[in-house]
Structure 1
Amino acid sequence: MTTGNSAPAGRTVKCPGCGGPSLFSPENRWRPFCSERCRTADLGAWAEDRYRVAAASQDTESPPPDPQRLGPDGH
């Protein structure tokens, strides 16, 4: 039995590219983006290193130990 509802299955989410509505469904070939343009722009941003993953800050006050000065047990 069908309900006659022809709306595509899925839900509407915010497009990560433009912020507009995007259908998150297998029927949207660009998901989670709303269009090929937004998907391509995001790919270009990755290629140009505009996205970065934060790294833990490193202590720069003391240099790492000199391996030649360590004993056989590593201390």
Structure 2
Amino acid sequence: MAKKPPTSQCPRCGKTVSWDDRFPERPFCSERCKLIDLGGWLTETHRIPGSDEDGDGVAERDD
């Protein structure tokens, strides 16, 4: 008997995704969910929490 691949939920729609070749876009269930998520990052709907001290979005280097 073949071992079942691990599964997870698509972060966009919640559909169950098997970690095998049937879902090459994993952890997303489809190209559509992957692109919707990418769009959220590009439009800054999705953000990583933290402070943006001067508001320009560019980190200063301490050389």
What TM-score do you get using the length of structure 1 for normalisation? 0.57
2:38 to 34, 38, 43: 43
Provide the alpha-carbon RMSD of the alignment: 2.2
Unaligned regions of 5+ residues in structure 2, if any?
Answer: 54-63
Question: Alignment length, in residue pairs?
Answer: 52
Q: Which structure exhibits the higher relative contact order, with contacts defined as CA atoms closer than 8 Å and separated by 6 or more residues? A: 2
Larger Rg: 1
Equivalent residues in 2 for 1:34-73, closer than 5 Å: 34-56=29-51
Name the structure 2 match of 1:73.
none
Aligned identity (percent) is: 35
Q: Which runs of 4+ in 1 moved over 2 A?
A: none
**TM-score w.r.t. structure 2 length?**
0.66
CA distance in 2, matches of 1:39, 1:48: 14
